[in-house]
Amino acid sequence: MSKSNTMKEMYYEERPYEKCERFGAENLTDAELLAVLLRTGTKGENSLELAHRLICSDFPGRGILNIHRWTFDRLLAIRGIGKVKAIQILCMSELAKRLARSTAMTGLDFSSPSTIAQYYMEDMRHREKEVLKLLLLNSRSKLIGESDVSEGTADTTLVSPRELFLEALRKNAAAIILLHNHPSGEPTPSREDVRITRRIYEAGALIGIELLDHIVIGDNCFVSLRERGLFP
């Protein structure tokens, strides 16, 4: 099939719409699913070819996960993507994250690092910079607030215990949990991660706000510093 073919010119069994109708959405490839949502291609390129090009652009090897790395401006720079398609793709990415979080919410337990990591995984593992997230809990271990307290370079983020505990005191938190991502995808804590965690734990002990855990998010994996025994 030549590049000049439109979606109408594709063989019937190759059309994503018809394939979905006959065999079910679960039998479509990633590119075919994206093509259905894009609906149309561009000059000389049908929607399936455009979808293949999008999935393979920018971050080779990540496949469909590229969707979470795209920004509005980056999408507009891709041939064949205008404002409407860019907005459709961004909304699709956000919907996928919310579905993942809603699914993880059913088992969320703030005493279990694995359920916490699962809940925040889709939000944090695709970020290109390190982000430190603060979770605020009341005396019954219920979440009363969360915020991104710092954003660093591609491999580091800086925060002081003072910033964290000012926020915790404003919300009358009894305990806190920290999460941050490693854009490399490898969640092993650095020496600086361990050092700042111990400082925050000690500062919290002085004012009566316990640091329950510090969780490092990688690419679909995580490390709990408390489970590793890296602070009291």
pLDDT digits (tens, 9 = 90+) for 47-77: 888 888 888 876 656 677 778 778 899 889 8
Which among 74, 101, 128 is the end of a domain?
Answer: 101
> What average pLDDT is seen over the chain?
86
Supply the pLDDT for residue 221.
Answer: 96
Residue 214 lies in a domain: yes
45 DSSP assignment: B
Q: Strand 210-217 to strand 175-181: parallel, antiparallel, or no bridges (unpaired)?
A: parallel
**Residue 179 belongs to what domain range?**
107-224
Supply the pLDDT for residue 217.
Answer: 97
Are 85 and 34 a contacting pair, CB within 8 Å? no
Supply the pLDDT for residue 52.
Answer: 86
Same domain, 68 and 19: yes
Is a pLDDT exceeding 50 seen at residue 1? no
Same domain, 216 and 111: yes
Residue 209 lies in a domain: yes
d(CA 119, CA 126): 14
Supply the pLDDT for residue 120.
Answer: 93
d(CA 78, CA 74): 7
Same domain, 111 and 215: yes
Which among 40, 67, 101 is the end of a domain?
Answer: 101
| CATH number, domain containing residue 165 | 3.40.140.10
Give how many domains the chain has, as a whole number. Answer: 2
Are 225 and 192 a contacting pair, CB within 8 Å? no
Residue 2 lies in a domain: no
Same domain, 140 and 220: yes
Same domain, 44 and 129: no
Tell me the three state secondary structure of residue 147.
strand
